[in-house]
Chains A and B, each alone.
Chain A
Amino acid sequence: MKLLVAVKRVVDYNIKVHVKKDGSDVDIAGVKMGANPFDENAIEEALRLKEKGLVSEIVAVSIGSAANQDVLRHALAMGVDRSILIETDSLLQPLGVAKLLKAVVELEKPALILLGKQAIDSDAGQTGQMLAALLAYGQGTFVSSITIENSEVIVTREVDGGTETLAITLPAVLTADLRLNEPRFVKLPNLMMARKKPIQTITVTELGVDITPHLNLISVSEPPARKPGIKVSSVQELLQKLNDVGGITL
């Protein structure tokens, strides 16, 4: 069976982004970019399912400008078989992305689609659920374990207060939580080989999908900082301060 994995290109998770002076958007010019960490968990899980003999082919897809080739090369270097870039310079939002991915699913007909549970830039956490809805597939979100049994995928989901286990009929859409696995490091020879692998490019126009944003960005700002506190020198001083603010009764 074929597996499709979606990869978003985002600002590296170690970087604290700042807003532009005019407040029109975040300033990410020249900032280090990479694959969304949750999407790396999705890629890793795809590779493990293939290594178990449950998946025959893994196709990675990314959406954006030609710069997105780097995250697809990264996916290829990790071990995916093929990659597709849906090329566009338009502003992308979860609904439009889900519509584009649906079009790719219709072309590729994978039995399983894996995505990260959210992207660490926009923190929307919607694309997987939206894709499942548009395809009328079952969904497993925030998954921390995946097994395939016959025509179903069994997933454990991380929910508030514990975990939940579901059986979902294939084809299905799953979104990966960080604890699903530990993504492998890419070895240099693999990275060199990945450079030679072709990346298939499709345009949004070719897919015939309307990705007009439904949300207009008005402005961005740095959130108000907590007012600076004080350092205390001992446990007794700390307890005295807490007593003063009425935080706890001693």
Chain B
Amino acid sequence: MEQVPLSHILILSSTLFFLGVYGFFSRRNLITMLMSVELILNSVNINFIAFNKFLYPHQLEGVFFTMFIITVAAAEVSISIAIIINLYRRFKTIDIEDTTTMKF
């Protein structure tokens, strides 16, 4: 089977990563910022799987790291959704420009 060059996979994942970074810094809405974080975590997963598959196929380390990242992402999303709902209940908005009570 002909193989895709590893650098193309890395370009794919870094483009996805910086799309996520752009969304995280430019958005004003907490839920869309959360979605950008998901994109970032997924780009890292692609990297781990690609390195495991194409450079070190005699190990399963990338698979384990991907599984742990997916689990941490699930925990992170559940906590942040709880925070967002609590914030919405208190301020009636989740726009980060309007919720400045604790802003330094």
Co-complex (A, B): no
